[in-house]
Every structure is written in structure tokens, then in C-alpha cells.
């Protein structure tokens, strides 16, 4: 008799897992779970599977990387197991772990997740195993905070907020950037990286990718958005260098391109590689920077470079490089046109849409109208972790439920059974 170690036991879900369309049975109809004898043909695109390299997603809903600020020394905790696990249990096709520092000084806050040492692997592997047992794909976002790092946790226990000094666990003397230009008047002045130090950072991304593979992750998302280090190299707002990593578009893009190349070299060929970018800095033109900063045209050209490096998808966010940014009204899907621009102008590159995608029909229409290939969901999932299963009901799809939660399935009519 084989004994089961209950400390690491997860009951594996059957079939494709929660969130995958299945054929309703006569018992399902009798109990009022559906009035349909079959699913739509074709299925709504949100619930169509998608294959990227060797990975097949059961649907096209993605948990966007969202900082949880719940780590100590970069280690994942039981919070991460429960937080990520809830989405795996409730039918999301691909679940991303938050922005994860590739170096201790690469974390944004003192409580951000990390993957700069082998000891971080064990707990992350537990999170991955749970997601896989629940039949969800799982990815991790690798990041370096650059000049926006050494920040206090949003809910610091001592009540302080803002940038963290050494007494509060910060690393103000190790904050770096492409140039010695601070983000704002309150942030730590960054040290300009030397070319040798740039290579070290790139290697830290590659080393973290190796650890991510050992932990079992299916996808890596390189964070080159929101004003963090890789985005800082892209934008002329933060990059004032005069060497091969600054000045022209090609030079400013070099850091991101070389980092993607370094990660792709060590990341298994069958596993997808994504990059998150800020499609625009949303800063008004000035005499100093006639373009205002990083532009939509720049993002399209960067996409053409990255597809040659084996990047499979760009998920398109925006802004974060300057406190002078002017963000337009946050209407539903306000960033979706960025994903569409990548899809239409970068042959061979998939795109992900993100930003105020909050309704089932809206998410599905983005895909049906070929504005993006995947939809990244953030705060709506914090409000309603059951979004994907609810969306299935709204779109007329009968989804597989977690076996343990089957009794809670939405009913289309009230019965006593």
C-alpha cells in the first residue's frame, strides 16, 4: 500500500479542469444547471482553447500579474498558495504570479516576491503543483524595479509609506537605473548602471528563468512596463545615456531585446515567453523630448524586434515612466487598441489586452473581433474570483466545475433537486 503524504496532497481534477467547456448531461438539465443539451458551436472565443508552442490553454482568460506585497526576503508564503490557487480552482486558463524580483535590489517594495536564489524555488513549486493539479497553466512575471525600487509596502506595519530607507528594510544605496535620473523628487537617486552591470542584470533575468523552469512554471512574462528598469531603458524620459544603450531607438531597445534573448536561450523551447510593455508613456511632447517619451510607434517597432528573439506574446499596458503622465479617462477597455496595434502590425506576434476588462461579453467581443488573442484580467478577479465560471453562464457555455464545488454551480432555473 502506498502512503500519501497529506502535506503535499492535492486531488487532481478530471478532464481539462474547471473552466473548460463540457457537454451537459441529462442530470445537469434535470437539476436546472442548464436548459441546453449542448454547448454553442462554435464556442465563444473566450472559451476556445489556444495553443502557444507546447502549451495549450483551456480558455483565453488570464490572471494578470498583480503585486500582493506579501513576501519576506522574496519568499512565497501560504498567502500565495491560496491567492493563486483560488483562480486555478475557479477556471482561469492561465494564472500569473506577480512581478518577481530577479535581484534583491530589483524588488519594487520590501515585500515583493523574489527569485534570485535557489531557496525560493521550493515554495513556488508548491504553488505551481497546486495549479497544475487543478488543470490551470501558471506563469511568473520576472522584473527589476530600477529607479522605482526600495519602496515601503502599501500597508507597512509601522504606518509609514513611500520610499524605504535602510531602517525600514530598503536599499537606497543600491537603487539603479539607465541614468542617474530619479523618478520624482521623493524617490531615491539611482546610480547609473555600467555596461558590465547591465550584463549582470541580464544574467539575473536568465538565472531567474532557470529557477522558474525548475519550479515548473509554464510561461514567463518579462516586465518591461510601468516605469521599471527595462521600461526605463526604453524611454528617453529616464534614459539619458550616450553609449550603445542610449540615444537612438535601437540603442534604447537594446536592453529589452538582449534580456529577452538571454531568457529565451535558457527557457525551454516548448514553453511560451511573453513580454509586458507600456505601449506609451502618455507624456506630452516638450522641447527636451519632442516625442514626449516612449510612443505607440516605438512599441510596434519593438514588437518586430522581439518576435525575432522568440517572444510569443506582448501584453500591452501603458504609462508609469513619469509623474507628468496624462492618462486618458479610464473607460472600459481603454488599453485594448494597443493590443490590436501589435496584432495588426507585428506578424507572428500574439497580443494580450489588459485594462478595465470587467464584463463577460466585453472580454469575449475583444477576442471575437480579433482585437487581441488573450484577455488579461486584474481587479475584476480580486472582486469576483468566480468571474470565468460566471462568464461561461452568461455566454451560454456549460463549463466544468471543481468537483468539490459542483453543488454551487449556477442554475438557470430553480429546482428542488
**Which pLDDT score, from 0 to 100, does residue 32 have?**
83
Instruction: State the angle between helix axes of 249-266 and 296-308 in degrees (0 to 180), rounded to the nearest 10.
Output: 40
pLDDT of residue 407: 87
Q: How confident is the prediction along the chain (417 residues), in pLDDT tens digits per residue?
A: 566 666 667 778 889 999 999 999 888 888 888 887 889 999 999 999 999 999 999 999 999 999 999 999 999 999 999 999 999 999 999 999 999 999 999 999 999 999 999 999 999 999 999 999 999 999 999 999 999 999 999 887 565 668 999 999 999 999 999 999 999 999 999 999 999 999 999 999 999 999 999 999 999 999 999 999 999 999 999 999 999 999 999 999 999 999 999 999 999 999 999 999 999 999 999 999 999 999 999 999 999 999 999 999 999 999 999 999 999 999 999 999 999 999 999 999 999 999 999 999 999 999 999 999 999 999 999 999 999 999 999 999 999 999 899 888 877 655 545
Q: What is the pLDDT of residue 159?
A: 58
Distances (CA, A) of 181 to 104, 109, 135, 188, 238: 21, 19, 45, 9, 6
What does pTM read for this prediction?
A: 0.96
Give SS3 for 281. Answer: coil
DSSP state of 113: E
Q: What pLDDT score does 182 carry?
A: 97
* Phi-psi sector, 181: left (phi>0), alpha (psi -120 to 50), beta: beta
Residue with cell 542617474: 180
What are the DSSP calls for 5-51, one per residue? -GGG--PPPSTT-TTSB-PPPHHHHHTTS-S-SS--SSPPGGGS-EE
Separation CA 30–CA 300 (nearest Å): 52
Pick from 5, 11, 3, 6: nearest CA to 85: 11
Which pLDDT score, from 0 to 100, does residue 172 have? Answer: 97
Contact 222, 259 (CB under 8 A): yes
φ and ψ of 173, to 5 deg: -80, -5
Kindly list the distances between the CA atom of residue 147 and the CA atoms of 165, 196, 279, in Å, as whole numbers in the listed order.
Answer: 14, 18, 19
pLDDT at 220: 98
Amino acid at each position: 500500500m502506498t502512503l500519501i503524504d497529506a502535506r503535499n496532497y492535492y486531488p487532481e481534477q478530471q478532464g481539462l479542469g474547471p473552466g473548460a467547456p463540457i457537454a451537459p448531461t441529462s442530470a445537469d438539465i434535470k437539476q436546472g444547471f442548464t436548459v441546453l443539451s449542448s454547448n454553442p458551436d462554435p464556442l465563444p472565443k473566450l472559451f476556445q482553447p489556444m495553443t502557444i508552442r507546447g502549451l495549450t490553454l483551456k480558455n483565453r482568460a488570464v490572471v494578470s500579474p498583480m503585486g500582493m506585497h506579501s513576501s519576506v526576503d522574496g519568499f512565497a508564503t501560504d498567502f500565495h498558495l491560496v491567492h493563486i490557487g483560488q483562480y486555478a480552482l475557479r477556471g482561469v486558463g492561465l494564472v500569473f504570479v506577480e512581478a518577481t524580483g530577479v535581484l534583491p535590489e530589483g524588488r519594487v517594495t520590501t515585500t515583493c516576491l523574489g527569485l534570485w536564489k535557489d531557496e525560493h524555488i521550493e515554495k513556488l513549486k508548491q504553488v505551481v503543483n497546486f495549479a497544475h493539479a487543478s488543470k490551470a497553466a501558471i506563469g511568473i512575471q520576472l522584473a527589476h524595479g530600477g529607479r522605482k525600487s526600495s519602496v515601503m509596502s502599501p500597508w507597512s506595519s509601522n504606518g509609514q509609506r513611500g520610499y524605504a530607507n535602510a531602517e525600514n528594510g530598503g536599499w537606497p544605496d543600491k537603487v539603479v537605473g539607465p541614468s542617474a535620473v530619479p523618478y520624482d523628487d521623493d524617490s531615491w537617486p539611482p546610480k547609473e548602471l555600467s555596461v558590465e552591470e547591465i550584463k549582470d542584470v541580464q544574467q539575473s533575468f536568465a538565472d531567474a528563468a532557470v529557477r522558474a523552469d525548475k519550479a515548473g512554471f509554464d510561461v514567463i512574462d518579462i516586465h518591461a512596463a510601468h516605469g521599471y528598469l527595462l521600461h526605463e531603458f526604453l524611454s528617453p524620459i529616464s534614459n539619458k545615456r550616450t553609449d550603445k544603450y542610449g540615444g537612438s531607438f535601437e540603442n534604447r531597445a537594446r536592453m529589452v531585446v538582449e534580456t529577452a534573448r538571454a531568457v529565451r536561450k535558457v527557457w525551454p523551447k516548448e514553453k511560451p515567453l511573453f513580454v509586458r510593455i507600456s505601449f506609451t508613456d502618455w507624456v506630452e511632447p516638450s522641447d527636451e523630448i519632442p516625442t514626449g517619451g516612449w510612443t505607440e510607434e516605438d512599441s510596434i517597432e519593438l514588437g518586430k524586434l522581439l518576435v525575432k528573439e522568440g517572444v510569443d506574446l506582448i501584453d500591452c499596458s501603458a504609462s508609469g515612466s513619469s509623474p507628468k503622465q496624462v492618462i486618458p479617462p479610464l473607460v472600459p477597455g481603454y488599453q485594448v487598441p494597443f493590443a490590436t496595434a501589435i496584432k495588426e502590425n507585428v506578424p507572428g506576434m500574439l497580443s494580450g489586452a489588459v485594462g478595465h476588462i470587467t464584463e463577460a461579453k466585453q472580454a469575449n467581443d475583444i477576442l471575437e473581433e480579433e482585437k487581441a488573442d488573450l484577455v488579461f484580467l486584474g481587479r475584476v478577479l480580486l472582486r469576483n474570483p468566480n468571474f470565468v465560471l460566471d462568464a461561461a453562464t452568461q455566454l451560454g457555455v456549460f463549463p466544468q466545475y471543481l468537483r468539490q464545488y459542483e453543488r454551487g454551480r449556477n442554475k438557470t432555473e430553480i429546482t428542488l433537486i
